[in-house]
Amino acid sequence: MIKIIVKKFLFVSSVFLLFVIGFSSPAFAEQASGKPAWEVMSDKVCGDKLCSEVYSPNETVTPSSIAYFPPPLKQISQGTDPSHVTCTEGKELVLKQSSGLPACVNFSSVEKLISRGWAIHVLPDYINENNNSEIFTVGEYITESENVTYFDDVVGYLAKPVDDGNYPGIVMIHEWWGLNDNIKEMADKLASHGYVVLAVDLYEGNIATTSEQARVLVTSYDSERGVENMNSATEFINQNYSSEKIGSIGWCFGGGQSLNLALHNSEVDATVIYYGSLVTDSERLSSID
């Protein structure tokens, strides 16, 4: 009889402790209704921060996104590659730009968090055999290329048709990997369609081959110096090739910078943005004709 009472007491005590701990800790976990998983406070996003960063015992927060157990950090700690972390249905994996830590957020929150500089997309490591230079076909012009110094001691990649002529100019802006062979190949191919293409180097000599290296480069990027860099590229084309028209083009990180150039240079006639971070403020965009 005594043994039975002791067992019941231990069981009730355990339930009570779990109840108290589960609802008094800022990093609590509660079972998600209808889902074979757990809701984790540390992976919720509240506005443009993780809820764990803004949580106050006296405040009630409404998370805009939830990562179910196991959360991204746990999956990675168990050996899962960041690009293969699984979020619950309706969520998308991003990296916190300041630290590189993963978080699962609502699809509708991704663009806002990226535009605020809170998050960046998760991309696999760079693979030389599989790059987006294949999207460009070779044009009718035979081209030549060379490395040119166009901003302080920064070296870019210039490609243009061999035949003399007055060709439109293009400032080409690399992805978050940097000015690698993939971008140079795209510059060659675009030049073969009758353009003077200057592929700029916003990382000033640094190239990433892993997503972690790329994250470090993009988070340390100086936007003001980057604008000066791209403006110098525009001036270089105008001074050396007298292009009547000049445009910009970029991918991912470079897509956002392509728009940034257009916002800060009235000589840019057109800008092309491939899946880059966008400025949505109408007043700022009004500066583009």
Q: How many CB atoms lie within 10 A of CB 47?
A: 15
Which residues, including other chains, have CB under 8 Å from residue 217's CB and lie 6 or more apart? 176, 178, 203, 206, 208
Please give the pLDDT value at position 5.
43
Q: Which two tokens stand for residue 34?
A: 């209808």
Q: 236 or 103, which is more confident?
A: 236
Angle 274-280-285 from CA coordinates, rounded to 5° = 90
Paired strand residues for 170: 197, 247
What mean pLDDT comes out for the span 84-92?
Answer: 77
**Banded pLDDT at 121 (limits 50, 70, 90):** low
**Banded pLDDT at 35 (limits 50, 70, 90):** very low
Q: What is the total residue count of the chain? A: 289
Domains of the chain listed by start with CATH number? 32-121 (no CATH), 132-285 (3.40.50.1820)
**Banded pLDDT at 82 (limits 50, 70, 90):** low
What single DSSP character describes residue 92?
Answer: E
SS3 26: coil
Through-space distance between the first and last CA atoms of the chain, rounded to whole angstroms: 88
**Banded pLDDT at 110 (limits 50, 70, 90):** confident
Q: What residue has token string 């249905």? A: 89
Please give the pLDDT value at position 98.
64
Please give the pLDDT value at position 115.
67
User: Strand ranges (DSSP E) for the chain?
Assistant: 29-31, 38-40, 45-46, 49-50, 91-96, 102-106, 119-121, 143-151, 154-161, 169-173, 196-199, 246-251, 270-274
Please tell me the distance from the alpha carbon of residue 233 to that of residue 80, in angstroms, as a whole number.
41
Q: Answer yes or no: is pLDDT of 38 > 90.
A: no
Lowest mean pLDDT among 34-38, 128-132, 264-268: 34-38
Report pLDDT digits (tens) over 216-257: 898 899 999 999 999 999 999 999 998 999 999 998 889 889
**Banded pLDDT at 106 (limits 50, 70, 90):** confident
Cβ-in-10-Å burial (0-12, 13-18, 19+) of 263 comes to: middle
Question: Do residues 188 and 143 make contact, with C-beta atoms less than 8 angstroms apart?
Answer: yes
CA quadruple 188, 120, 215, 233: dihedral, nearest 10 = 40
Q: Backbone phi, then psi, for 93, in 5-degree steps?
A: -85, 130
Question: Do residues 170 and 246 make contact, with C-beta atoms less than 8 angstroms apart?
Answer: yes
Q: Which two tokens stand for residue 175?
A: 């992805």
Report pLDDT digits (tens) over 135-169: 668 889 999 999 999 999 999 999 999 999 999 99
Q: 231 or 289, which is more confident?
A: 231
Q: In what order do the strands lie in the sheet with 91-96?
A: 102-106, 91-96, 119-121
Cβ-in-10-Å burial (0-12, 13-18, 19+) of 233 comes to: buried
Please tell me the distance from the alpha carbon of residue 252 to that of residue 122, in angstroms, as a whole number.
11
Please give the pLDDT value at position 86.
80
Which uninterrupted H or E stretch holds 284? helix 282-285
